[in-house]
A and B are shown apart, each in its own frame.
Chain A
């Protein structure tokens, strides 16, 4: 089991009240899996994503990632986990505007302490893998949305993470670019990368191996909660 969440709760104080964003979530993901999580806004899917991605820690519950309990790990250790075990793809790409495609992709290796020459070589390989071998020195504003998202995917994959997390990866893209990105995900999954993605587009969710819905902070079992032919 790559990832195992047991009885995860997440509360946020809001004024004097305490809001329960996630209620007793259990989740297990095997290596090589491809899971889509769907839910309406406010359902807690982003919070769940942040917890899976070690960007946040749960209020209670156990979280084993790659055999290690990360529910109560230190900030520094979580940074290492995010750097080496996880890869992130965001809806709005989050490329640094003043760095070239190559430099953006190489950034996680900088934090991993890799030497400059090796960083550049590996960044070039990663960009070739996502089909942008001819755009290495382009700045983000010289690239289309789809190309930017592929640069972001190359950045997420550069440290060969066990788990790729994608938060609405096609949300800001036109359908053609969106398809290219989803094709890339299929390809990565076929090569063995475990993927968890959040979406509210049924067509995107349908391409995953498994689909689970989240509603009012509760993660529903597979197959539950589907509305008609929405997927």
Chain B
């Protein structure tokens, strides 16, 4: 075996120019495949990271009425058959695999009962627990956060996100100002910002629905202060922080099942209620599929160049077998079996295409980096793809080397020796 490999490399090295030209088809094919796969992976990684994970890997699970998120308001109170989320359920959620943090919260949208002076606020109001900012990836921008004392004393304090701050205060500091929420005065103690913002170009309505967080920003108050404004003191939604983006779907599903089983009993005449997680992963998968479909066509074209490369290898191996007829004849005369001659030529073809494959991988990596830096598109080297490419090019060598190798193995030693 080692002799065969050593001989194969000698043969390839002995005809440097010819070997290189033969490999060229394989090199081009593999390089294009690596480039395409790297670009696909780069785009997908970017979609996944910035869209789904938003850099924080937060999975939100909320109550759905039939197929739509259930929005609480004065007219839409807690349905009869939905129970408040208990501390026990929170514990169970925290025990789901790969969950880093669990936070319970209440929220209202379209609630116009928030004012600063004469300005009404049309964003969202959140009643949040201790873990909310950690789980969703907010950090304090300035001021302070909610303290345990705030919560214990049911203090009327509030925090804003940067969106709400911009809408209500512009450039003026918000800390110390008083908001009127449901007729009650709440003192603003701090402003939070997302640790990582996703910079998406919003080009279509679909993009807008997907990426736009909220129009008017968010106002946060301690969950304990929620009943001061609304009657319910129990959280209605859950946010879970996943260890990695890939875990988000699984965590979301487990949390859905758990919450639907624990919180919803019986039926309601208001419709079918269930807990569902954000389906961002699914939506992202659709986008990824679209980009994959285009790129798959490119992969087929690259595959054709591999086929052409393989035929080139077969051609040159046939020439090699003819040139080395006497060598084959002599080897068979002194005792080489068919199997060995076959092995020698297959090894040589496979070595030729494997070297081509390795050069192709290097060229592909270089090319995708170049494209990435010139065009500004993301690229990510896929290590499994590299392995597959090298193994695949080796297989091409074996497949296209088969006919020449069989021809060599079946040479009659007498004819082979007599040939000049």
A19 interface residue (CB < 8 Å to B): no
A94 contacts B414, C-beta separation under 8 Å:
no
Q: Chain B contacts of A83 at CB under 8 A?
A: 334-335
A82 interface residue (CB < 8 Å to B): yes
A84 contacts B335, C-beta separation under 8 Å:
yes
A107 contacts B334, C-beta separation under 8 Å:
yes
Could you tell me the distance between the alpha carbons of A142 and B189 in the complex, rounded to whole angstroms?
Answer: 94
B326 interface residue (CB < 8 Å to A): yes
B327 contacts A110, C-beta separation under 8 Å:
no
B337 contacts A111, C-beta separation under 8 Å:
yes
B304 interface residue (CB < 8 Å to A): no
B326 contacts A94, C-beta separation under 8 Å:
yes
Q: Chain A contacts of B332 at CB under 8 A?
A: 79
B417 contacts A94, C-beta separation under 8 Å:
yes
Task: Name B's interface SS.
Answer: helix
Q: Chain A contacts of B338 at CB under 8 A?
A: 75-76, 79
A90 contacts B417, C-beta separation under 8 Å:
yes
B10 contacts A55, C-beta separation under 8 Å:
no
> Which residue of A55, A56, A98, A107 contacts B331 across the interface (Cβ within 8 Å)?
A107
Q: Chain A contacts of B326 at CB under 8 A?
A: 94
A82 contacts B333, C-beta separation under 8 Å:
yes
A50 interface residue (CB < 8 Å to B): yes
A98 contacts B14, C-beta separation under 8 Å:
yes
Of residues 70 through 125 on chain A, the ones whose CB sits less than 8 Å from some CB of chain B are 75-76, 79-80, 82-84, 88, 90, 94, 96, 98, 107-108, 110-112
Q: How far is the CB of A231 from chain B (nearest CB, A)?
A: 27
B285 interface residue (CB < 8 Å to A): no
B399 interface residue (CB < 8 Å to A): no
A-B contact pairs, 18 of them (CB 8 A): A55-B413, A76-B338, A79-B332, A79-B335, A80-B335, A82-B334, A84-B335, A90-B417, A94-B417, A96-B327, A98-B10, A108-B334, A110-B3, A111-B334, A111-B336, A111-B337, A155-B334, A159-B335
B residues lining the A interface (CB < 8 Å): 3, 10, 14, 326-327, 329-340, 413-414, 417
5 more contacts with CB within 8 A, not counting A82-B334, A84-B335, are: A75-B337, A79-B332, A79-B335, A107-B334, A111-B335
